[in-house]
Amino acid sequence: MATLPFDKAGYLFIESLLHPATGLAASREGECYTTIYKNALAAMALLHEGNRLAAERIFEVFRKYYQINRDNFEGLPRVWDVCAGLPDIKSIHWEGETAFLLLALNYYKQVAGSYGKYHDFVQGLKTWLVQRANTCEQLLADGIANMYAALQPFAGDPAIQKCLNRLRTCFFAEGQISSLDYEHVLEHIIRGALVFGDTSGFKYLPKFARSEIWDLDKTVEITAYNAFVADPFINVEMSAQLLLAANIWQPALPKAPGRPGPECQIDLSHLQAELEKLQVPGRINSQSAGLPYFVTERGFPQASTLPIIQPTCYFLFYFWGFNPFAPGWKFALLPGT
């Protein structure tokens, strides 16, 4: 267990993931695998803590790819090799991941005062996302929400506002690939709150609650949440995202169902203590610590025993009161929430 509080130890862990040669953030310490999304999260954490230089090194890698491919830009490859600083050109270009990088660049503008040398890069990302919004009925709801949040700062442009209206309609629509499913998909509940200010999905949270014995320490039981109702296992990243969303929107959360006597607001305050149990010391910096992706082994080797970037970032964001989908501003609550 790290001796520092998590808001310090977790940040040191994020710094330990940065490759000294390329500047990219690895998924886990000593690995060469990463994604656009993971690096956007890392850049936001670095910017929040005043390390602009490290965040700029991340942005430079992706800006270089854009500059080389700007005449035929089709988004950024999702998967990258941290050690080589190169993309897996066969990996899918996900709108949601490219949107998350734009979110990080929007935050950079807030911190630095302007986009600076990234202005053209931002314009390229924005243009591509607006084009992709024309087929938002074919995209997943979480990616649609990411796109909406990333384009929201440009709402003063009538064309962007039209695009935002379309994305919002797609997110809340039924009967299509992107169909919103608060009852069965936790990420939809979280995006609804953090992006659109809609907390109505929180009433389904009891369906997602799970308890498991942690594989790293067989004496520790963790009570948290899964990503999909059908999953019999906890997803630590989704649990950390949920804690963040609940903390930001606590006054607007619906009443907890199934309680005897007067209804009480949904309370997730216990979840912080549950996630704190899962802290794993870093290997590069002994004072660093992060969270694993799962509580029990599944999906990929040492998924429950090695810390990984995404849940660590979201747990940091919780401590900082930082909404990565709207850094520096809040969405208005939807009517009736």
pLDDT above 90 coverage of the chain, percent: 79
Q: What is the mean pLDDT of residues 313-319?
A: 96
Q: Do 120 and 207 fall within a single domain? A: no
> Which residues constitute the domain of residue 306?
181-337
Confidence of residue 158 (pLDDT cuts 50, 70, 90): very high
Q: Do 201 and 81 fall within a single domain? A: no
Q: Do 192 and 156 fall within a single domain? A: no
Does 166 map to a domain? yes
Does 13 map to a domain? no
Does 206 map to a domain? yes
Does 6 map to a domain? no
**pLDDT tens column, 125-148:** 999 999 999 888 888 999 999 999
Q: Do 164 and 260 fall within a single domain? A: no
pLDDT of residue 92: 79
Q: Do 306 and 255 fall within a single domain? A: yes
Is the model's pLDDT at 265 over the cut of 60?
Answer: no
Query: What pTM does this model have?
Result: 0.93
Does 92 map to a domain? yes
Structural domain tally of the chain? 2
Among 210, 194, 211, 212, CA closest to 202: 194
DSSP E strands: which ranges in the chain? 33-35, 79-81, 86-87, 209-213, 221-225, 280-281, 289-290
Q: Do 121 and 241 fall within a single domain? A: no
Which residue is associated with the tokens 């800006």? 63
Q: Do 39 and 167 fall within a single domain? A: yes
For residue 254, what is the DSSP state? P
Q: Do 226 and 336 fall within a single domain? A: yes
Contacts of 131 (CB under 8 A, 6+ apart): none
Last residue of a domain, one of 125, 153, 180: 180
The kind and range of the H/E element at 25 are none
